[in-house]
Structure 1
């Protein structure tokens, strides 16, 4: 099975001397839900930014969907994001003067063509069919995050990248959002999620723990039925 993400000797340095990412090597297969955890400064957000094409590595290679994006220019990265990735941020980044439906249709516009019916359907999928005409200021944090998930899904990406998607939510709304991610995982979407929450880290298929820009653990969130050739290691208890 061809990997959807491959990182080879991935390095990121902001000052030319100290590496934030220090030679990471890992691969993620299609359909996996992989969580990334680590203390502040461990490099997890930097890694997600490189995976999303919002930042570029200093050295090594990052290959997504068989394409090495390591040396892409800004225009190439923007086009690659539109065509291949769905991004969900802790900060919602919704346009406040647009309704939920209009925010989704704007994402369609930048990708290809606007399809209002498809935008309605994806909002209904995340439980917001009754909030189509509401602007962000008139929606709860959980509802705004669900609009972000709908925006990430509307162009049917192969890969969804999420940065602390429940970080600003209460327990009730966190469960709603995580249930949506669980449904997307069951449908076959590949998910990479940065989180600080141990209970979320145990969800999905796999957990990568970072420390000082290096992977210190690659753990299967499973019972070991994936097979001996799987990248992560099964840890009981």
Structure 2
């Protein structure tokens, strides 16, 4: 309980929130590294996923190859980059980009390749070229799955970026690493809570964004109440004849 109390005390100290090493500055750096890593992964994974999904051939092999990168621990990649002279946020962006490729590629291939063949054939029957079918039919219908892949990648990278502190980078992980170094375990817990809170906020915002960009016909229907209306009993006129 002392650690919990120390964490609450640390979080309630305004001095820990301001300045170049404060929570707000480190959170901004954390988000910036995440966005750069996901953007770099998207530049590589999403065009490849669209191409494989549109061709409907080779997608499974591409996804399997991409998923093999999950066997590479991000910390091991950071160590390799550090041994090659890459430190700080640069190494973190590269390592987390590798980590973000599988969900982006998998969901893009599944989303584009999973469009109903009857819909694609109907577009072909209307005289649409392959490129027009892709941009006008397949991509719009694949938006929910592609957006889900982006959402997964962002949250995973947000949870991984704290490792940047181990190679000289700036993120909320710096709070955790400093706490371990000074044996202030309340600070360690506070840093973990901040990372978890950031992931939860991002998850919620991206869920709303995913719903907003999905075509209305593909959005889940709102739940209807199962309660039946109570019949209104008719009152008989009791007037005398």
Q: In which range does the TM-score fall when normalised by the shorter chain?
A: under 0.3
Structure with the higher fraction of residues in strand conformation: 1
Looking at secondary structure, tell me which structure has more helix per residue. 2
Length-normalised TM-score, structure 2: 0.22
> TM-score when scaled to structure 1?
0.22
